[in-house]
Structure 1
Amino acid sequence: MLGRRLRRLRESAGLTLRGLAEQVDYPHTYISRVERGEQLPSAALATALDTHFGTDGLFAELLEMAQDASIPDWARVILGNEEKATRIQIFASSLIPGLLQTEEYSHALFRASLPGASEEKLSERVETRMRRKRVLNKDNPPFYWAIMDEAALKRPIGGSKCMRDQIAYMLEVSASAHITIQVLPFARGEHPMLGGSLSLLTLPKGTSIGYVESFASGEAVDSQPRIVELTQRFDIARSMALPEQESVDLIHAYLREHADEDDS
Structure 2
Amino acid sequence: MRVNGETVRSAAVRTGEADDPGWEVDPEDEWGLAVIATVGRQLRLRREAAGLRAGEFGAAVGYGEDMVYKLEGGKRIPRPEFLDKADEVLGAGGLLSAMKEDVAKVRYPKQVRDLAKLEARAVEMGTYECLSVPGLLQTPAHARALFEVWQPPYSPDDVDRMVAARMARQAVFERTPAPSLSFVLEEAALRRQVGDAAVVRGQLEHLLRAGRLSYVTLQVMPLASGPHPGLAGRIELLKFEDGTALGRSDGAFNGRPASDPKQVRILELRYGTIRAEALPPGESRALIERLLEET
**TM > 0.5:** yes
The 1:128/1:115 distance shift into structure 2, 3 A limit, reads same
Q: How many angstroms apart in 2 are the aligned matches of 1:146 and 1:40?
A: 36
Q: By how many angstroms is 1:136 displaced?
A: 1.2
**Superposition RMSD in Å:** 3.2
Q: Does 1:229 align with 2:266?
A: yes
After TM superposition, the score normalised by the length of structure 2 is: 0.71
Q: Does 1:127 align with 2:164?
A: yes
RCO higher in structure (CA 8 A, sep ≥6): 1
| Residues 50 and 58 in structure 1, CA contact (< 8 A), matched pair in contact too | no
Q: How many angstroms apart in 2 are the aligned matches of 1:188 and 1:151?
A: 11
Could you say what secondary structure the match of 1:94 adopts?
A: coil
Deviations 1:186-231 (A, max 9, x none): 11121110141111000111111002247xx942111211111111
After TM superposition, the score normalised by the length of structure 1 is: 0.78
Mapping of residues 107-256 of structure 1, within 5 Å: 107-213=144-250, 218-256=255-293
| Residues 78 and 209 in structure 1, CA contact (< 8 A), matched pair in contact too | no
| Residues 90 and 197 in structure 1, CA contact (< 8 A), matched pair in contact too | yes
Could you say what secondary structure the match of 2:224 adopts?
A: helix
Q: Which residue of 2 aligns with 1:11?
A: 47
| Residues 147 and 238 in structure 1, CA contact (< 8 A), matched pair in contact too | yes
Q: How many angstroms apart in 2 are the aligned matches of 1:171 and 1:132?
A: 19
Q: How many angstroms apart in 1 are the aligned matches of 2:213 and 2:78?
A: 33
The 1:150/1:5 distance shift into structure 2, 3 A limit, reads farther
Structure of higher CA gyration radius: 2
| Residues 50 and 57 in structure 1, CA contact (< 8 A), matched pair in contact too | no
Q: By how many angstroms is 1:165 displaced?
A: 1.0
Q: Does 1:62 align with 2:62?
A: no
Could you say what secondary structure the match of 1:230 adopts?
A: helix
Q: Which residue of 1 aligns with 2:15?
A: none
Structure 1: runs of 5+ lacking an equivalent: 21-27, 259-264
Q: How many residues are matched? A: 243
Shifted more, 32-41 versus 180-189: the winner is: 32-41
Q: Which residue of 2 aligns with 1:25?
A: none
The 1:142/1:253 distance shift into structure 2, 3 A limit, reads same
| Residues 105 and 166 in structure 1, CA contact (< 8 A), matched pair in contact too | yes
- Aligned-residue identity in percent: 26
The 1:130/1:222 distance shift into structure 2, 3 A limit, reads same
Q: Which residue of 2 aligns with 1:96?
A: 133
The 1:76/1:128 distance shift into structure 2, 3 A limit, reads closer
Q: How many angstroms apart in 1 are the aligned matches of 2:129 and 2:87?
A: 38
Structure 2: runs of 5+ lacking an equivalent: 1-34
The 1:119/1:39 distance shift into structure 2, 3 A limit, reads farther
Give, as a single letter, the amino acid of the residue that structure 2 aligns with 1:91: Y
